[in-house]
Amino acid sequence: MMISSTQAVPATSDVPRHVAIIMDGNGRWATRRRLPRTAGHAKGVQTVRRIVEACARRGVSYLTLFAFSSENWRRPADEVTLLMRLFVQALEREVDRLDEQGVRLRVVGDLDAFEPRLRELIRQTEARTAHNSLLTLTIAANYGGRWDILQATRAMLAANPQLAQSPESLTESQLDQYLSMAWAPEPDLFIRTGGEQRISNFMIWQLAYTELYFTDLYWPDFSAAQLDAAFQWYRTRERRFGRTSAQVEAQAAS
């Protein structure tokens, strides 16, 4: 079980242990080139491959990618269909490479909404890579931070019905255990490509003390060099977790 950064001060290091990315800007990348939006999504898959490899080489332990939000069902049906198809293709084509690289794949989100074939493929890919430990790559699909908090609350109450009678006894770490990524530490670095400076319902509980990095580059243009620029920026941040700067310096010197 992970301890929330709001309760204990977590250790920090030069390379973020957990990087969470909103891969945004595929559609605009394509529109700029007079291509259909879907061409941007296809190009975006190549960036995923590059960034997974770069994170594995740099010693990142957890990489979480927002691939499809609970709200993305609002898009035109043909775009949603293509995104699902790309997801299936990527799982089928990439599993060998991921396994060779020592990457463990996990998928979080409300998977009940997906077709049985896709759910089965997700299950197989997770099982196939479950023994890997170099990097855990988590794909957030039909995921929303509010959905996650709600499903965690439901699961927690179902397992502990007595809590409803003594709500004052409920703690943050109790709820934490039921979040869909309870097995991962909270993200150290959040990156959003595509120029928007918002969270768009991604991991809202876990991002409480995460360093937030925004770049105007569209996701298909994001590269390992850009990832290094984000890491460089991350190293300049002083993570205080509520303490004063003097306290942080004293701890670093000790």
Place of tokens 């699902």: 84
99 burial (CB, 10 Å; 0-12 / 13-18 / 19+) is: middle
Q: Which residues pair with 191 in a beta bridge?
A: 21, 213
160 is catalytic: no
Residue 12 binds which entry of ligand IPE, Mg ion, none, CB below 5-8 Å type-dependent: none
Residue 24 binds Mg ion, judged by CB under 5 A: yes
Residue 213 binds ligand IPE, judged by CB under 6 A: no
Pick the piece of the chain touching Mg ion (CB under 5 A) from 20-28, 82-90, 91-99, 205-213.
20-28
Residue 114 binds ligand IPE, judged by CB under 6 A: no
Nearest approach in angstroms of CB 199 to ligand IPE is: 8
Residue 193 binds Mg ion, judged by CB under 5 A: no
- DSSP secondary structure string for all residues of 60-121: -SEEEEEEEEGGGGGS-HHHHHHHHHHHHHHHHHHHHHHHHHTEEEEEES-GGGS-HHHHHH
Q: Which residues pair with 190 in a beta bridge?
A: 20, 212
Place of tokens 């004293």: 250
Residues 72-101 that bind ligand IPE (CB under 6 A): 72, 83
Residue 196 binds ligand IPE, judged by CB under 6 A: yes
Nearest approach in angstroms of CB 116 to ligand IPE is: 22
132 is catalytic: no
Residue 50 binds ligand IPE, judged by CB under 6 A: no
Sheet of 211-214: strand order equals 103-108, 135-143, 62-69, 18-22, 189-192, 211-214
Residue 40 binds Mg ion, judged by CB under 5 A: no
Residue nearest to Mg ion as judged by C-beta position:
24
- DSSP secondary structure string for all residues of 1-35: -PPPTTTS-----SS-SEEEEE---HHHHHHHTT-
Residue 48 binds which entry of Mg ion, ligand IPE, none, CB below 5-8 Å type-dependent: none
Residue of 117, 146, 154, 198 interacting with ligand IPE (CB under 6 A): 198
Spatial distance between the Cα atoms of 188 and 211, rounded to a whole number of angstroms: 6
Residue nearest to ligand IPE as judged by C-beta position:
27
Task: Quote the tokens at residue 104.
Answer: 């463990």
- Cβ-based nearer residue to Mg ion, 12 or 31: 31
- Cβ-based nearer residue to Mg ion, 24 or 176: 24
Residue 22 binds ligand IPE, judged by CB under 6 A: yes
Task: Quote the tokens at residue 146.
Answer: 């509010």
Active site residues: 24, 72
